[in-house]
């Protein structure tokens, strides 16, 4: 069966993330992806997570502690647009994931926004390891969602193909704005 965007995002991460890697969860939310990544990076790796909602950070931190994975994670109660300030300039990121939109069962007006999402993506592109991937799952069915989707799609379409591969994955016959998964991969060798 073709995989949902959520499952496929995990597959794309699992394919490249190895024990010892440094990775980023740009939208911690319920902590599901943070836990998944913390498992992949092992005890020598590290996950840096961001969310502007304190509640999301607190509950995720608790889940990580219960799973015994807290020591390999650092969660910031601040926007992902600060990623370049937080990560040392020499840090190489193997993978990053962003789930855009609002947090389900929470305040629908607290959403990711084009301006800050693009700052985060722009900051991460040069930090990405060769063969590394940035996954962006775009949910856009909510108020303000279309503006962000259009901005992100325009941005990723313009990423130079010489250095990066960019994939778009979506069930195009589904109702109700099925999410779009974008995968950005840094190529192994720069090609003309
Ligand atoms: N729509 C997805 C979940 C998105 S959760 C789904 O249905 O599965 C998006 C998360 O991003 C929320 O927890 C929200 O608080 C967070 N967020 C919003 N703006 C942010 C920013 N600038 N930096 C980091 N996180 C942000």
Q: How would you classify residue 161: left for phi > 0, otherwise alpha for psi between -120 and 50, otherwise beta?
A: alpha
* H-type alpha helices, 15-161: 32-41, 54-66, 83-86, 114-124, 145-157
- How far apart are the CA of 99 and the centre of ligand 1, in A? 6
Q: How far, in Å, CA of 51 to CA of 28, rounded?
A: 6
Q: Which of 112, 115, 120, 142 to mutate to test the pocket of ligand 1 (most atoms within 8 A of CB)?
A: 112
Rounded percentage of the chain residues whose pLDDT exceeds 70: 98
115: pLDDT strictly greater than 90: yes
Identify the residues whose C-beta falls under 6 Å from ligand 1: 27, 29, 50-53, 56, 79-81, 99, 101-104, 110, 112, 116, 139
Domain annotation covers residue 141 = yes
For 54, the domain range is 5-186
The predicted pLDDT at position 190 comes to 57
Biggest CA pair distance of the chain? 48
68: pLDDT strictly greater than 90: yes
Question: Which atom of ligand 1 sits closest to the CA of residue 113?
Answer: 19
CB atoms inside a 10 Å sphere around CB 133 = 25
Half-sphere exposure in the Cβ direction for 50 (13 Å, CA): 24
First to last CA, the chain: 36
Cβ–Cβ under 8 Å, residues 66 and 99: no
CB atoms inside a 10 Å sphere around CB 152 = 22
The predicted pLDDT at position 183 comes to 98
Q: What is the CATH number of the domain that holds 34?
A: 3.40.50.150
Per the structure, how many domains does the chain have?
1
Domain annotation covers residue 191 = no
Domain annotation covers residue 56 = yes
Average pLDDT over residues 98-110: 95
Domain annotation covers residue 192 = no
Q: Which of 10, 51, 109, 113 to mutate to test the pocket of ligand 1 (most atoms within 8 A of CB)?
A: 51
The predicted pLDDT at position 178 comes to 97
Q: Could you read off the pLDDT of 19-53 as tens digits, one per residue?
A: 999 999 999 999 999 999 999 999 999 999 999 99
The predicted pLDDT at position 151 comes to 98
CA-based nearest residue to 8, from 185, 184, 182, 186:
182
The predicted pLDDT at position 191 comes to 56
Q: Whose CA is nearest to atom 22 of ligand 1?
A: 79
When the pLDDT of each residue in the chain is averaged and rounded to a whole number, the result is: 97
How confident is residue 189, by pLDDT bands cut at 50, 70 and 90? confident
Cβ–Cβ under 8 Å, residues 17 and 94: yes
Average pLDDT over residues 138-146: 96
Q: Which of 27, 83, 152 to mutate to test the pocket of ligand 1 (most atoms within 8 A of CB)?
A: 27
């Amino acid at each position: 069966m073709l995989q949902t965007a959520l499952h496929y995002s995990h597959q794309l991460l699992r394919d490249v993330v190895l024990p010892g890697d440094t990775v980023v969860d740009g939208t911690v939310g319920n902590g599901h992806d943070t836990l998944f990544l913390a498992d992949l990076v092992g005890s020598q790796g590290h996950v840096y997570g961001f969310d502007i909602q304190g509640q999301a950070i607190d509950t995720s931190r608790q889940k990580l502690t219960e799973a015994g994975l807290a020591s390999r994670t650092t969660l910031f109660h601040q926007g992902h647009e600060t990623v370049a300030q937080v990560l040392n300039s020499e840090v190489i990121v193997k993978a990053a994931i962003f789930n855009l939109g609002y947090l389900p069962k929470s305040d629908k007006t607290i959403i990711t926004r084009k301006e800050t999402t693009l700052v985060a993506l722009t900051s991460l592109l040069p930090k990405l390891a060769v063969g590394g991937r940035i996954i962006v799952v775009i949910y856009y069915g909510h108020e303000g969602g279309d503006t962000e989707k259009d901005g992100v799609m325009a941005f990723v379409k313009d990423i130079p193909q010489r250095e990066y591969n960019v994939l778009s994955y979506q069930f195009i016959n589904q109702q109700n704005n099925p999410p779009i998964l974008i995968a950005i991969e840094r190529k192994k060798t720069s090609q003309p």
